[in-house]
Amino acid sequence: MVYVNDIVVARDNSTEVSKFIQLLNDRFKLKDLGQLKYFLGLEIARSERGISVCQRKYALEVLEDIGMLALKLVQFLMEPNVKFSKDSGQIL
């Protein structure tokens, strides 16, 4: 017996995704939760511009766990439109 808590199936072809999920469903007991919203502490959001990933919920939970949720926020500047290299992981 194997129990898998979460699995994400993603591909640019929705027909292929549906076929794969059906194949899995024919062999295993599945519960399709629909569009991905949260996974491993990450919040996933879709828009016409693409997919964004955020850890806001996770960060708030960490702050709450350590008793710092009620602290005053401080703003800081961040470089806009930062691009990372796919191969090296460094900023371009």
Please give the pLDDT value at position 7.
82
Residue recorded with tokens 């766990």 = 65
Please give the pLDDT value at position 8.
85
Please give the pLDDT value at position 13.
87
Q: pLDDT tens, position by position, for the chain (92 residues)?
A: 566 777 888 888 889 989 998 998 998 888 888 888 888 888 999 888 888 899 988 888 898 999 988 888 788 887 888 777 777 666 55
Residue 53 tokens read as 């990933």
The sign of the torsion formed by the CA atoms of 78, 84, 89, 92 equals negative
What CA–CA distance (Å, rounded) separates 55 from 66? 17
- pTM for this prediction: 0.50
Contact predicate 38/57, CB 8 Å: yes
What dihedral do alpha carbons 7, 8, 14, 18 form, nearest 10°? 0
Residue recorded with tokens 């009620």 = 70
